[in-house]
Amino acid sequence: MFRPALRQLRLSRAFTTTRTALAQVQAQRQATYALKVEDAPIVQYVKRRVEERRKLQSEISDDALSDEDIQKVRKIRELEPLQDAWTEWKHAKESLEETLPLLNDPDPTMRSMAEEEYASLSDNMTQMVENTFPSLLVPPSDTAHLSAIIELRAGVGGSESALFTADLVRMYTRTAQSQGWTATMLGSNVLETGGMRDAIMEVKGEGAYDALRWESGVHRVQRVPATETNGRVHTSTVSAMVLPLLEEKGSNNEDDDLFTMDEVKVEVMRSRGAGGQHVNKTESAVRLTHIPTGITVSMQDERSQHQNKRRAFQVLRARLMDRKLNQEMIDRRDLRRSLVRSADRSEKIRTYNYAQDRVTDHRLGMSVKNLDSVMEGDGLQDFLKALQQRHHDELLEDVLSERS
């Protein structure tokens, strides 16, 4: 009858021994944390930039500043926030190292205080490595202030594709509303059978372009059409193109940095489609052709030629700006093979599977259940945030590789 008590005593001793051993192992792991985190590529990069700043400071002449010295002073000022962050990180590291011996202090109270202090310092250093340093190293977006133009075109799937185009228009409209942006339809071809053959919408608001630019590509929908009698799932596609919306300029502006009026062929014609007598009596439709690139924009939804012309130039300017931004991206990141995939608008980027109530983004390998939430605009935010984070991580990787 003593066996259970003896067995319990042995287990208790074994537990105490194990707990002591685990505490020692934990202390050893904590002791090497500061050394490991200092070996991180981003920490080494920040260290090199701070040393570069210190070297520039030593090279500045005490006499009158030369043009070269002025450039160095500007560089020193640019690196000042990184210097401040590095000083804070080094101070936390030194405090952490001072705390290490106390983790094995025989006094339980002192050891407990040391563990709390160590945990706080470790968290602070980790936050700086994961958030502070990257935010200082990745340059701010040049397009953060821009609004967006979204062009949608029905693809494979006939009438079902047109219906899904209308669904996407609603999804982006709801997304814009939830973000405090304003969504306006610039033009669309609505079918008598329902849905849209194509649509152009404007989403105005700071940050709209940066958030929505990753929606460019082919959106695939898998669902049973309303006209399907046998319950078979059909696959349809809609292509999307998101363009940067620039500040409006006059259509006759010769100083436009994207084009000159000599490069644009302007044609006016009678509107097609619904409109009654108005269609037959006025030439209100406008078609612009940018001769160097072959880009063509047609606009007829407005009642006046002036309004259609203004809208057409707005879209032309957006398409040319998008072309410019993509070329700059290619030039800047020519060595990154993944760029081809991310910039290819013919690529299937997302699948909306109604039967499985699932939306999958193929670039992220990320799936979200509750398809209705995505189509209502709320669930789409999860994808947009993840895509922005991926872009930020790629930019950081580029920065680190430039000087490695």
Q: Which of 308, 287, 292, 299 is nearest to 259 (CA)?
A: 292
Alpha carbon distance 77, 34 (integer Å): 29
Residue 195 DSSP symbol:
S
Measured CA to CA in angstroms, residue 260 lies from 15, 68, 251, 252, 320 at distances of 81, 37, 10, 9, 12
pLDDT recorded at residue 341: 42
Alpha carbon distance 157, 232 (integer Å): 13
Q: Which residues contact 21 (CB under 8 A, 6 or more apart)?
A: none
Q: Which residues contact 307 (CB under 8 A, 6 or more apart)?
A: none
Are 366 and 380 a contacting pair, CB within 8 Å? Answer: no
What are the pLDDT tens digits along the chain (404 aa)? 445 554 554 555 444 444 444 444 455 555 555 556 777 888 889 999 999 999 998 888 777 677 888 888 888 998 999 999 999 999 999 998 889 888 888 888 998 999 999 989 988 998 998 889 998 998 888 888 889 999 999 998 888 999 999 999 999 999 999 999 999 998 889 998 889 999 999 999 999 999 999 999 999 999 988 777 777 889 999 999 999 887 655 444 444 578 888 889 988 887 665 544 444 456 788 889 998 898 999 888 777 888 888 888 888 988 888 888 877 766 655 534 443 344 344 579 999 999 999 999 999 999 999 999 999 988 999 999 999 999 988 888 888 876 55
**Residue located via tokens 């700086």:** 128
Q: Which DSSP helix (H) or strand (E) runs through 208?
A: helix 208-212
Phi (first) and psi of residue 257, to 5 degrees: -80, -5
Indicate the SS3 state at residue 106: coil
pLDDT recorded at residue 271: 67
pLDDT recorded at residue 19: 45
Are 154 and 166 a contacting pair, CB within 8 Å? Answer: no
